[in-house]
């Protein structure tokens, strides 16, 4: 238990893989998620085996890319935002990119 303000736990940023896993809750059971190398990306795969990449661009925004078509969308979330809300937004964008 923390005894002072300075000992309070810090919010750890969500990894792109954690975001991809959170999106699974909204995408359904035919989707899967895999971590990318060094945890820098997360990968979603649909039941049709269409791959999607979840990552962070150079400007610090979250992006979702349909790897089969090359289309992508950027989302202005911070890495400490509510993980469930990020997952839901990713699932909605994946639906648009599908």
Please give the helix or strand (H or E) that residue 22 lies within, else none.
Answer: helix 16-27
- pLDDT at residue 8 above 60? no
Query: How much is the pTM?
Result: 0.83
- pLDDT at residue 2 above 70? no
Task: Report the pLDDT averaged over residues 25-36.
Answer: 94
Q: How far apart are the first and last CA of the chain?
A: 46
- pLDDT at residue 81 above 60? yes
Nearest of 36, 14, 38, 11 to residue 90 by alpha carbon: 14
Buried b (16+ CB within 10 A) or exposed e, 75-98: bebebebebeebbbbbbbbbeebe
Could you give the angle at which helices 16-27 and 83-97 cross, rounded to 10 degrees? 70
């Amino acid at each position: 238990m923390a005894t002072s303000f300075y000992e309070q736990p810090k919010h750890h940023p969500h990894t792109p893989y954690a975001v991809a896993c959170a999106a699974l809750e909204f995408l359904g059971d035919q989707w899967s998620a895999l971590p990318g190398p060094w945890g820098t990306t997360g990968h979603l795969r649909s039941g049709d085996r269409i791959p999607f990449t979840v990552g962070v661009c150079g400007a610090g925004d979250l992006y979702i890319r349909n790897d089969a078509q090359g289309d992508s969308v950027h989302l202005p979330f911070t890495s400490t935002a509510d993980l469930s809300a990020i997952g839901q937004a990713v699932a909605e964008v994946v639906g648009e990119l599908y």
